[in-house]
Amino acid sequence: DAKTTQPTSMDCAEGRAANLPCNHSTISGNEYVYWYRQIHSQGPQYIIHGLKNNETNEMASLIITEDRKSSTLILPHATLRDTAVYYCIVRVVGYGNKLVFGAGTILRVKS
């Protein structure tokens, strides 16, 4: 699976959009971009995933660049409860594939 690079940490004001970048320059054509988050002392929570088109669900939006070498997770109106570690993971979607977690981005939402 391709390697991802994320900033170590980011701050965001409550109520504003949080934009979390992820670089995956070595991504291959059959690899998806997945985002999970982990609130302190809890298990990771699935947020969203995509292949090449932008995706949106009730939690977030995922913007993938046309060359697919980077992506941005957008939390449109961040709240204090969105403070967490956000993991960007690139992997092939096959039934035997594992999720390999990197260091992630610590997002701190501040009032």
Q: Binding residues for another protein, per CB under 8 A?
A: 36, 38, 41-46, 87, 93-95, 97-104
- Give yes or no for a contact between 10 and 107, defined as CB atoms under 8 angstroms apart: yes
Q: How far is the CB of 55 from another protein (least distance, A)?
A: 13
What is the maximal distance between C-alpha atoms in the chain? 42
* Minimum CB distance to another protein smaller for 80 or for 103: 103
User: Who's near 75: CB < 8 A, 6+ residues apart?
Assistant: 12, 17, 18, 20, 59, 60, 82
Compare residues 40 and 111 and give the one whose CB is closer to another protein. Answer: 40
**Smallest distance, Å, CB 36 to another protein?**
8
Least separation, in Å, of the C-beta of 16 and another protein?
Answer: 26
Contact indicator for 53, 68 with CB cutoff of 8 Å: no
Between 13 and 99, CB nearer to another protein: 99
